[in-house]
């Protein structure tokens, strides 16, 4: 950097790097949701602004059509959840009922907070962090060597899976890891985040609907009775 760089230029470069300031920013981002969701995603947006990282580098590219992106995301996310619940998770030996969230069955009072959690916290929040931010950071760290994108997809999927252990145990890790592989693979190819945000929200809203209407066992045993 030139000697006449402004303090903001110096700060931006350090935030983009992997020195003490960049690592501190990363630690704060990855632990933000421990306070409340979607704090981590908000911190990602602040980091991108302060580090002068272009929005496209963390996946925020304007869709060619918002309507088409939303519709495709909803269809993909809802269908993906149904396939996971009816076919994939039973093959992995997961219980038909998710015990961590079964309290939501018929629980109308809990719906508003949970809808916010799965749209803002999971759909927007988790995609911004696990796909947008981590793909950008690991892409800079790994460089352009062959196989870097595949390694990033695998690593972020593993981290995404582990993030679900505390409340859902091994079945939650399995489901989230598979979801991370699918969504991460799509992001690695497209570099676009909005469709995945819509798909992730639809995935979790479908899960919420299945639980709320107490049809988890019926869906889980739809294929393998």
What's the chain's length in residues?
A: 225
Q: How far apart are CA 76 and CA 179, in angstroms?
A: 12
Answer yes or no: are the C-beta atoms of 113 and 208 closer than 8 Å: no
State mean pLDDT over 75-94: 97
Sequence ranges of the domains in the chain: 1-53, 62-220
Tokens of 204: 């979790």
Q: How far apart are CA 124 and CA 23, in angstroms?
A: 23
pLDDT bucket at 37, cuts 50 / 70 / 90: confident
Greater pLDDT, 192 or 3: 192
State mean pLDDT over 55-76: 97
pLDDT bucket at 150, cuts 50 / 70 / 90: very high
pLDDT bucket at 225, cuts 50 / 70 / 90: confident
Task: Give the pLDDT of residue 4.
Answer: 67
Answer yes or no: are the C-beta atoms of 183 and 199 closer than 8 Å: yes
pLDDT surpassing 60 at residue 1: no
Task: Give the pLDDT of residue 216.
Answer: 96
Q: How far apart are CA 13 and CA 137, in angstroms?
A: 13
State mean pLDDT over 77-90: 97
pLDDT surpassing 70 at residue 69: yes
Cα separations (Å) of 44 from 119, 133, 169, 200, 201?
Answer: 17, 7, 27, 18, 19
State mean pLDDT over 143-170: 94
Q: Which residue has 């992997």 as its token pair? A: 18
Q: Which residue has 């919420």 as its token pair? A: 208
Q: CA 78: distance to chain centroid? A: 15
State mean pLDDT over 51-62: 97
Answer yes or no: are the C-beta atoms of 40 and 32 closer than 8 Å: yes
Q: How far apart are CA 62 and CA 106, in angstroms?
A: 38
Over pLDDT 70: what percentage of the chain?
98
User: Model pTM?
Assistant: 0.94
Q: How far apart are CA 97 and CA 51, in angstroms?
A: 44
Report whether the peptide linkage leading into residue 38 is cis, meaning its omega lies within 30 degrees of zero. Answer: yes
How many CB atoms lie under 10 A from the CB of residue 33?
Answer: 19
pLDDT bucket at 34, cuts 50 / 70 / 90: confident
- Residue-wise pLDDT tens digits, 91-135: 999 999 999 999 999 999 999 999 999 999 999 999 999 999 999
State mean pLDDT over 137-165: 94
Task: Give the pLDDT of residue 8.
Answer: 87
Residues 184, 186, 191, 193, Cα dihedral to 10°: -80
State mean pLDDT over 75-96: 97
Over pLDDT 90: what percentage of the chain?
91
């Amino acid at each position: 950097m030139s000697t006449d760089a402004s303090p903001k230029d110096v700060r931006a470069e350090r935030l983009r790097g992997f020195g003490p300031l960049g690592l501190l920013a990363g630690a704060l981002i990855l632990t933000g949701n421990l306070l409340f969701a979607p704090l981590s995603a908000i911190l990602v947006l602040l980091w991108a602004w302060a580090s002068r990282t272009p929005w496209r580098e963390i996946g925020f590219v304007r869709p060619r059509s918002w309507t088409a992106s939303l519709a495709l995301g909803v269809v993909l996310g809802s269908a993906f959840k149904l396939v996971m619940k009816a076919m994939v998770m039973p093959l992995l030996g997961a219980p038909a009922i998710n015990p961590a969230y079964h309290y939501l069955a018929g629980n109308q009072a809990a719906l508003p907070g949970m809808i916010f959690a799965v749209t803002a916290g999971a759909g927007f929040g988790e995609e911004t962090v696990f796909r947008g931010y981590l793909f950008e950071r690991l892409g800079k760290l790994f460089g352009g060597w062959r196989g870097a994108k595949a390694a990033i997809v695998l690593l972020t999927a593993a981290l995404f899976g582990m993030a679900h252990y505390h409340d859902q145990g091994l079945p939650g890790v399995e489901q989230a890891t598979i979801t991370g592989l699918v969504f991460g693979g799509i992001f690695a190819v497209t570099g676009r985040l909005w469709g995945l945000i819509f798909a992730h929200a639809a995935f979790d809203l479908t899960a919420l609907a299945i639980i709320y209407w107490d049809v988890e066992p019926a869906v889980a045993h739809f294929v393998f009775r």
